[in-house]
């Protein structure tokens, strides 16, 4: 579904991604873990079209998309749920969510997708008319996720969904991602600081260090990898939930 080939991306004069290659098959959850500053968010922004690659190739659904704009990539089925939610604080929850369908001119389809999300996330009903800035971190993350899902994506690029959330809310968000993957066959490229939780729900994973892929394998393989354990999983840390 997605091939990233020898991708190099700069922020100004600084090279952030250094010949990164990875792939994702339809129906997979693939996670990318790494320390702060490793280039994880830059990777997702480059795939989404927000940052231009200096070198390399991006292929999505058998099309080279290097020169596609973000709206063109969205039309193809690439949707980004950004780090930090990035909601419009003064707009209502409903308006924030509907902005995710701004390219879709089929009002009936937009309404059907919106109603499906309301059914999937019952908490939204009581939040629809509230301003986004009044929500808790967990509520904002649900709104941001629903906004990304309003375009009915084939591949969801999900950046740090647990950022600022409690372990319990992190568990619920990741369970939601797993449910969408299983029930809707939604493909997900997940960047997540909670490496243990991310590796437990993914099919495959990559470790990104200072702009380079240094390890790859199944989620279980990397959970058991001694270097990953030492660098990212911590000692004595116990996760409350794993893939069922």
Q: How many angstroms separate the CA atoms of 216 and 22, rounded? A: 9
The order of strands in the sheet holding 63-64 is 14-24, 2-11, 55-60, 63-64
| Torsion sign over Cα 92, 96, 97, 101 | positive
Please state, rounded to an integer, the average pLDDT across all residues of the chain.
Answer: 89
pLDDT for residue 184: 87
pLDDT at 136: 87
Measured CA to CA, the distance from residue 97 to residue 118 in angstroms comes to 11
Do residues 21 and 7 make contact, with C-beta atoms less than 8 angstroms apart?
yes
Phi, psi of 204 (to 5 degrees): -140, 165
The residue that leads in pLDDT, 230 or 41, is 41
- Residues carrying CATH 3.40.50.300, the chain: 1-77+154-236+239-243
pLDDT in the model for residue 12: 85
pLDDT at 56 over 50: yes
Give the tens place of pLDDT for each residue, 57-81: 999 999 999 999 999 999 999 999 9
Place of tokens 């908490």: 123
Q: Return the pLDDT at 234.
A: 61
pLDDT over 80 at 45, yes or no:
yes
pLDDT at residue 243 tops 80: no
Per DSSP, 202 falls in state -
CATH topology of domain 1-77+154-236+239-243: Rossmann fold (3.40.50)
In the structure encoding, which two tokens stand for residue 15, read together? 């090279």
pLDDT of residue 86: 86
Contacts (Cβ under 8 Å, ≥6 apart) of 150 = 97, 98, 99, 100, 101, 110, 113, 114, 117
Is 0.85 topped by the overall pTM? yes
């Amino acid at each position: 579904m997605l091939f990233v080939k020898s991708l190099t991306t700069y922020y100004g004069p600084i090279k952030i991604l250094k010949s990164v290659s990875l792939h994702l098959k339809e129906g997979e959850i693939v996670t990318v873990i790494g320390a702060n500053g490793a280039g994880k968010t830059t990777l997702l922004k480059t795939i989404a079209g927000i940052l231009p690659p200096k070198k390399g190739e991006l292929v999505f659904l058998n099309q080279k998309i290097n020169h596609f704009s973000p709206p063109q990539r969205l039309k193809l089925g690439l949707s980004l749920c950004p780090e930090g939610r990035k909601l419009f604080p003064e707009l209502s929850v409903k308006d924030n969510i509907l902005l995710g369908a701004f390219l879709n001119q089929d009002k009936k389809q937009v309404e059907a997708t919106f109603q499906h999300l309301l059914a999937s996330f019952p908490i939204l009903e009581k939040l629809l008319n509230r301003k986004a800035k009044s929500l808790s971190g967990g509520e904002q993350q649900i709104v941001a996720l629903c906004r990304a899902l309003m375009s009915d994506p084939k591949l969801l690029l999900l950046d740090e969904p647990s950022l600022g959330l409690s372990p319990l809310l992190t568990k619920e968000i990741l369970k939601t991602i797993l449910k969408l993957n299983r029930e809707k066959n939604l493909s997900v490229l997940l960047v997540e600081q909670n490496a243990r939780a991310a590796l437990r729900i993914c099919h495959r994973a990559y470790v990104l260090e200072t702009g380079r892929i240094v390890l790859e394998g199944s989620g279980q393989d990397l959970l058991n990898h001694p270097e990953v354990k030492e660098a990212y999983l911590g000692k004595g840390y116990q996760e409350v939930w794993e893939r069922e």
